[in-house]
Amino acid sequence: MAPVAIVLVSDGKRCLLGRQASFPRGMYSALAGFCDMGETLEETLYREVAEEVGLEVESIRYSGSQHWPFPQSSFMVACHATVSPDKAEVNVDHTELEDARWFTLEEVTNALKIKTPPRNPKEETPTLWVPPDYAIANRLIQEWVKDQQLSLAGK
φ and ψ at residue 146, rounded to 5 degrees: -60, -45
Predicted local confidence at residue 65, as pLDDT = 94
- Given pLDDT bands bounded at 50, 70 and 90, which one contains residue 117? confident
Is the model's pLDDT at 143 over the cut of 90? Answer: yes
> In the predicted model, what is the mean pLDDT of residues 17-26?
92
CA distance 126 to 23: 12
**Residue 28: CATH number of its domain:** 3.90.79.10
Q: Which alpha helices (DSSP H) does the chain contain, by range?
A: 41-53, 105-112, 136-153
Host domain of residue 129: 2-153
- pLDDT by residue (tens digit) across 58-95? 999 999 999 877 667 788 999 999 999 999 999 999 99
Predicted local confidence at residue 54, as pLDDT = 98
| pTM as predicted | 0.92
DSSP state of 124: S
- pLDDT by residue (tens digit) across 42-54? 999 999 999 999 9
CA distance 44 to 51: 10
What is the count of structural domains for the chain? 1
Instruction: Express as a percent the part of the chain with pLDDT over 90.
Output: 77
Residue from 151, 148, 13 nearest 84 by CA: 13
